[in-house]
Amino acid sequence: MIGCSSFTMETKDKKHFLSRTMDFMMEMAEQVVFVPKNKTFAISYDSKQEITSKHSFIGMGSIQRDIDDAPVTCDGINDAGLMGAVLYFPGYASYADKATNNAWAVSPDKVISAVLSQADSLNDIEDLFTKKMVIVNEASPALKVIPPLHYIFSDETGASIIIETQTDGIHVIKDSIGVMTNSPDYHWHETNLRNYLSVTTNQHKDIKFLGKTLKPFSQGSGTFGLPGDFTPTSRFIRTAFMKNNAEQPKDELAGVSLAHHILESVSIPRGIVVTPEDTFDYTCYSAYMCAETRSYYYSTYGNQRIRCVKLTPELEQETEYHEFKVNPTEDIEYMN
């Protein structure tokens, strides 16, 4: 079962990030893929719907060479500075059986690749979801299930858009707080924030109690009540609290560092979350994307060193897929 947490962030020098964890029961961080402009690829398994990319993009995923030679990406950033990520949405996601009105049929796991290859702006993304494409009930050949998903996108202004397709239609959320995890739906999570109004960064003061003076233990007493479990609801609260209260980073490098620290608060070690199939959900990788520099930073469960792939002018000149293989082995700087 795919978990995941995500949030947007702005630095003091106006760099804008979309960051996310990928929580799953199998390794999802094997390569960062590059997809060039003017590349034609399939966005549906059953209908064989194809599109040609208007934009190049990079993101964690794979080129399914043994299936349809098409990219499947979990997240990514394109040459227009648009960033996107897919997160699990069980019990709520609902798709169409087929596309209608000449719309594109898109498999749920191919949405990120389809959108980043076409969109210039968040308005473009809204048009894609509401007018030009339909997410259809198609199983992922790799997972052998129809993955229930929802999507978050952000741009160089720091604005974001969340897309949730449910039984009552497409929900386009343009006024979110820039945080998303998993089920329930986004509006439920935002409402749930009201249960944590008493959680604060400030230390509680001494109080008089039955003739005694009671002092808080050490530091952090204001955060008492902040949930510490790994459910989507608790991860949403922790991520939102961190985003709202962490010191704003001064620049891109500090932004990467802060994003890494915030996501560590919701990262899942192997063995802590056991699935019904007796496997482990764990944080395979975390990604930190910067819109202005077209940079894709990431760290993995087995190698916590932060690495980066950029959409450089040289890379954008390439006309074929490119895969940047992930080193899964811990990279330790030995000092003696």
Which positions are catalytic? Answer: 4
Decide: helix, strand or coil at residue 252.
helix
- The DSSP bridge pattern shows strands 133-135 and 104-106 to be parallel
Q: How far is CA 172 from CA 72, 128, 223, 305, in A?
A: 23, 11, 32, 35
Which has the closest alpha carbon to 30: 231, 302, 319, 332?
302
DSSP 67-136: TTS-EEESEEEETTS-EEEEEE-TTT---BSS--TTPEEE-GGGHHHHHHHH-SSHHHHHHIIIIIEEEB
The encoded tokens of residue 42 equal 């399939």
CB atoms within 10 A of CB 198: 8
Determine the Cα–Cα distance for residues 63 and 70; give it in Å rounded to an integer. Answer: 5
The count of C-alpha atoms lying within 13 angstroms of the C-alpha of 150, restricted to the half-sphere facing its C-beta, is 30
Determine the Cα–Cα distance for residues 111 and 149; give it in Å rounded to an integer. Answer: 10
Decide: helix, strand or coil at residue 322.
strand
User: Across-strand partners of 87?
Assistant: 150
Angle, vertex CA 275, rays to CA 270 and CA 280, nearest 5: 20
* Cis bond before residue 269 (omega within 30° of 0): no
Which has the closest alpha carbon to 330: 306, 311, 296, 295?
306
